[in-house]
Structure 1
Amino acid sequence: MIDKALFIMQNWELIGNYLLSKYRHHHWLLAALKGLRNGIVYGCKVRFPHALVMVFLFQEGTILQKFQTILRLTKTHATNLAKFVFSYKLIKGGLEKFTGKVEEWHSFVAAFLMGYYVFGENNAVNMQINLYLLSRIAIGLAKLAAQKEVITQPERPIFPWFAALVWGIVLWLFEHHKDVLQLSLQKSMTYLYHESEIWTGIRNFLLRNSDKNI
């Protein structure tokens, strides 16, 4: 048993290449497995540094508690992304095999189903990911509508007006209806716009933020 394990460890690349070659005709299954791997790696790369900064800046607790929170958020992001990519590639590949060709609706149906089951739980990580995608698809759909001539192509730059509208609405909501905003956004904007109005002397004007060591 130990000899077999040592043989596999020493020849893992040779064995792996053999298996990839043997099952090369099942590319969609292999792509799903590779998607599982990429989901874990990408989720960790994206979430860990973000959680590290946000938790240490804005959350209370001991060092151990903060690291436990960081690891929990990273695990949630990585596992959800891995499950989604794996399942999406599997369903999309299966639909292509079933219909015998690639159709645009395959992508939507596969992602719709797994979006419900993987990212449908209302937690902090899923909320952030879904909101991130929502902003991107809104811009993407507007560009697609212009490309397909559903709407006329703007003759002047519209990005400044887009920025003005976004910032006007978010500050209006924050100043007058703060409770409807996401908690992490509330914390960030409180630090920037409300706590910047509080000081008792030069020490907590320049070196510290009120009574917080920030």
Structure 2
Amino acid sequence: MAAPPQLRALLVAVNALLRKRRYHAALAVLKGFRNGAVYGAKIRAPHALVMTFLFRNGSLQEKLWAILQATYMHSWNLAWFVFTYKGLRALQSCIQGKTYPAHAFLAAFLGGILVFGENNNINSQINMYLLSRVLFALGRLAVEKGYIPEPRWDPFPLLTAVVWGLVLWLFEYHRSTLQPSLQSSMTYLYEDSNVWHGISDFLIYNKSRPSN
């Protein structure tokens, strides 16, 4: 079935507007908002689904609501951050007539405070995810710039050993310092595996189900 003439005319007008270079910066901000929302939902929904059904107690309705809340918050925050970042970069470029490297840091700095500044579980996970990658990238950048010599051997095995040694030491003796979701995961792996009452909660279930 063919689209009505009015709809076809509207689509032609919209596509013509989208192709105009004079509006590119503003439209890029809007598409950034769209991409942030979509990507945030794609990333958070599967993670929230798995973590909620593995570790969260409550009814099915409560679990589904928790998944929707986490997905919405991640999607909304990421959408607004991309919108803010791209908007501030475009504004700085417009004011100064060109783009400078400092624009990226300043725009993201302000966007981070405005969007991800609240200390909650979702923002904490996102920030820690980024922190690990930033530290890796800064190490590589320091080598590229010659600030530190390039290692003559692969440091990854040593880094791995230190990370795992520290996280298990923290879990065993300073557990409260770890993020709650990590505590839950490690409890499942290292403590729940110490307890069973029969074949059902040894092999099939993590914990025995209450008898009726």
The answer to whether TM tops 0.5 is yes
Identity of counterpart residues, as a percentage? Answer: 50
Give 1:27 deviation, angstroms.
Answer: 1.8
CA distance in 2, matches of 1:8, 1:189: 59
Q: Which runs of 5+ in 1 are unaligned?
A: 1-5
Q: Is 1:30 aligned to 2:27, yes or no?
A: yes
Change (3 A) 1:145 1:63: same
Contact 1:92/1:106, CA 8 A, preserved across alignment: yes
Which residue pairs with 1:65 in the alignment?
62
Q: 2:195 aligns with which of 180, 198, 214?
A: 198
Contact 1:195/1:209, CA 8 A, preserved across alignment: yes
Query: Following superposition of structure 1 onto structure 2, how do residues 76-155 of structure 1 map, counting pairs within 5 Å?
Result: 76-155=73-152
Runs of 4+ in 1 over 2 A off after TM superposition: 6-13, 210-213
TM-score, normalization by structure 1:
0.92
Contact 1:36/1:86, CA 8 A, preserved across alignment: yes
Instruction: Report the 3-state secondary structure (helix = DSSP H, G, I; strand = E; otherwise coil) of the residue aligned with 1:85.
Output: helix
Deviations 1:51-96 (A, max 9, x none): 0111011001111111100000000000000000011000011111
Instruction: Report the 3-state secondary structure (helix = DSSP H, G, I; strand = E; otherwise coil) of the residue aligned with 2:25.
Output: helix
CA distance in 1, matches of 2:71, 2:122: 9
TM-score, normalization by structure 2:
0.93
Change (3 A) 1:46 1:200: same
Which residue pairs with 1:13 in the alignment?
11
Instruction: Report the 3-state secondary structure (helix = DSSP H, G, I; strand = E; otherwise coil) of the residue aligned with 1:25.
Output: helix
Which residue pairs with 1:3 in the alignment?
none
Q: Which runs of 5+ in 2 are unaligned?
A: none
CA distance in 1, matches of 2:108, 2:81: 8
Question: For the aligned residues, what is the CA RMSD?
Answer: 1.5
Deviations 1:19-43 (A, max 9, x none): 2134x21321111011000011101
Deviations 1:174-193 (A, max 9, x none): 00110110000000000000
Change (3 A) 1:207 1:100: same
Aligned length: 207
Give 1:8 deviation, angstroms.
Answer: 5.8
Give 1:7 deviation, angstroms.
Answer: 6.0
Letter in 2 for 1:29: A
Contact 2:49/2:67, CA 8 A, preserved across alignment: yes
CA distance in 1, matches of 2:161, 2:13: 57
